Structure 1
Amino acid sequence: MGYRPLALAAIALLSFQVCLAKQPSLNLVTFEAPPYQIASVAGRGSASIRGETVTTVTCAAKAAGWATNITMVPQKRAIYSLKRNIADGYFAADPSAELDAIARQSYPVALEKWYFFTLDASPKPSNDRIGVVDGSNEEAWLKANGYNIYLSVTSPKQLLALLERGRINAALMDERVMQGLNTDPTTPAIDSLHSHFLRYAPLHLYLGDAFQVTYPNFLSAFNEALPTCMGKNLQLSERELTQIDELTRRLLAELRGLLDLQQALNAGQQPNTLAEVLSIDSKWQAVTPDSKLPLAAHILNLPASQTLKNWQGSYQGLVTEVMLVNSMGAIAAMSQLTSDYWQGDEPKFLEVAGSESTTEPRDRNFLFISPIRYDQSTTRFQITVSAPLFTDEDKTPNGVLVLGLDIEEAMGI
């Protein structure tokens, strides 16, 4: 065989190997919803799809070993494409019985914050003429939850025009979508509108059953990558931070009236060294949640822990956990069994008690409010709020009180 045939054979083999190494491509559909999914014209007139949720989905798919091919279509057509196996998946969708019957949902890929926007300061959802975007997640949710929809239109901008003319007196949409409209000079004035929080809406990637059967390991890898890929998208807004701050201070004042926190700290376990704490923590994590160490049972039976448990129960749904943590980061009292004994390496402790990045002593009134975290076991979104504890004499914290809050319950108060 001559050199030329050998060279051609080598090229063919190399091309075959490159094809084998190429990432598989996930064919997805979504819909226009700035700033989450945005269609724009790129160079030479080609369509470019970008946005926060697009970035999240692309990032998690890449971590799972897949490239993405995303097409923008109306929401009803997106569902049709999923049903007919024209697309492998559809995002960002609010859970529904229709989708659950034909596909499997991922962990949330986006978190929307839905508000009723009204001219009236006191909305009456049961009587209001509600407007919504046709085919939207909001429309599907309202129908599933027994609301009467007065008008469905093609765009959020139309909803504002109808509000201005009095055709409707309540429009349901995402807070970020409304913020985007507020920067559009062609949008009707919205300064006079009132906003009323309705719910946090976790939106998912739905993967068709046929894709799931063929690639059964994809979804678990995709879900595992999501917390990192979502990152900053779960930060609280200034409005939310203000409301959580005010609520937490009321809760802390009530708790301090029920429990002497310094006495509770002193009554808790007193490890001598960090090495001892870490040794306990290793054993604690190894048996939790199926069992608990004798030390964990002892802490749960302390009077302070019983007070925390009873107090949490009085706020069922809102308060998800309460922890009293000593200066070494170890649990001194808790309302329920925690996943670990040592909290000293987590922001809820470090941002309050101090670390290398917090060189200045914390003010006695300081609160650290965490980003939102999705709890898969309860399918709820939660935050933690940490407050430093001081004796009368100390200038640095000798402990930390940590509250877990359900963010949707907290914002609905």
Structure 2
Amino acid sequence: MTHTRYWVAGCAISLLCAGTLSMASAADPALEGAVRMAVSPQAQTWLADPAVVAAVKSQNARNAGIAQSKIDEMDNRWKAAAKAGGVNPAFDEVSSNAVSKQLKQVVAGSGGKIVEILLMDDHGLNVGQTAGTSDFWQGDEPKWQKVFTGNADLYMTDPEKDDKTGAMLTEASVPVLDPAGKQKIGVAMIVLDTAKLAR
């Protein structure tokens, strides 16, 4: 769950652009198309950046064979620290690493179109992030499940108003691929300001 709360009303599956789009609602085809264009590999070249790919692959290797009990333990520690609002060494480590700094530059250079990026590994654990999150493990959430274990090449939520800025935001999750073998190695969730997308 990101710093901005999102509510997903339901889920519909449709085929689009030779891929599978999973989203909360297909009521606005123009928005759907604009989101797909905004998060495409052509628009978000950092998805294939060697440093981003290496960061995901490195964490995948470190966590190979990790037990679910260990994931739960790490996630629970993160959640407890986030809820208490105090020191969270695990969050600090992720948010200040090299790939997080790179992603923050992507957000800063997007002209307000991208509000947040969360990069996840093949277990749904945070690899890099540009904002706070209430949890470390996203593997039990649709933004990771629909893309990594499901068949969706894009998962997006219905737009929801941000309490702080008033902007209408949508989460768009896409696979992170290893350019060499094209296999799926992780998921990137990109929060977009829908008012700044070309329709």
Same fold by TM (over 0.5)? Answer: yes
What are structure 2's unaligned runs of at least 5 residues?
Answer: 1-6, 11-23
Structure 2 Cα separation of the partners of residues 341 and 283 of structure 1: 9
Aligned letter for 1:339? S
Alignment pair present for 1:312 and 2:107: yes
Aligned letter for 2:101? Q
Alignment pair present for 1:281 and 2:75: yes
Match of 1:336 in 2: 131
Structure 2 Cα separation of the partners of residues 410 and 297 of structure 1: 31
Which range is displaced more, 372-381 or 343-352?
372-381
SS in 2 for 1:283: helix
CA 1:316–1:274 in structure 2 vs 1: closer, same or farther (change >3 Å)? farther
How far apart are residue 316 of structure 1 and its match? 4.7
Greater RCO, 1 or 2 (C-alpha within 8 Å, sep 6+)? 2
Match of 1:399 in 2: 186
Identity %: 18
Match of 2:44 in 1: 252
Alignment of 1:230-241 (within 5 A): 231=9, 235=25, 236-241=27-32
Report the TM-score, using the length of structure 2 for normalisation: 0.74
Structure 1 Cα separation of the partners of residues 49 and 196 of structure 2: 23
Alignment pair present for 1:373 and 2:160: yes
How far apart are residue 379 of structure 1 and its match? 3.0
Report the TM-score, using the length of structure 1 for normalisation: 0.38
Aligned letter for 1:281? D
Alignment of 1:204-215 (within 5 A): none
Structure 2 Cα separation of the partners of residues 394 and 242 of structure 1: 24
Contact 2:159 2:194 in 1 (8 A): yes
SS in 1 for 2:115: strand
Greater share of residues in helix: 1
1:297-340 Cα shifts (integer Å, max 9, x gaps): 11122111110011111125321111110111100111222221
Structure 2 Cα separation of the partners of residues 322 and 294 of structure 1: 20
Match of 1:82 in 2: none
How far apart are residue 260 of structure 1 and its match? 3.0
SS in 1 for 2:161: strand
1:362-393 Cα shifts (integer Å, max 9, x gaps): 5xxx2222222333243332111111123334
Alignment pair present for 1:243 and 2:38: no
Aligned letter for 2:35? I
Match of 2:20 in 1: none
Structure 1 Cα separation of the partners of residues 161 and 31 of structure 2: 17
Structure 2 Cα separation of the partners of residues 276 and 247 of structure 1: 36
Structure 2 Cα separation of the partners of residues 282 and 273 of structure 1: 14
SS in 2 for 1:367: strand
Alignment of 1:119-268 (within 5 A): 231=9, 235=25, 236-249=27-40, 250-253=42-45, 255-256=46-47, 258-268=49-59
Contact 1:268 1:333 in 2 (8 A): no
Structure number with larger C-alpha Rg: 1
Structure 1 Cα separation of the partners of residues 197 and 142 of structure 2: 21
Match of 1:389 in 2: 176
1:129-184 Cα shifts (integer Å, max 9, x gaps): xxxxxxxxxxxxxxxxxxxxxxxxxxxxxxxxxxxxxxxxxxxxxxxxxxxxxxxx
CA 1:273–1:375 in structure 2 vs 1: closer, same or farther (change >3 Å)? farther
SS in 2 for 1:309: helix
SS in 1 for 2:197: helix
Aligned letter for 1:251? A
Structure 1 Cα separation of the partners of residues 86 and 161 of structure 2: 24
Contact 2:48 2:176 in 1 (8 A): no
Contact 1:367 1:386 in 2 (8 A): yes
Aligned letter for 1:380? A
What are structure 1's unaligned runs of at least 5 residues?
Answer: 1-226
Structure 1 Cα separation of the partners of residues 136 and 57 of structure 2: 17
How far apart are residue 287 of structure 1 and its match? 2.2
Query: What is the number of equivalent residue pairs in this alignment?
Result: 173
Q: Indicate the RMSD between aligned Cα atoms, in angstroms.
A: 2.6
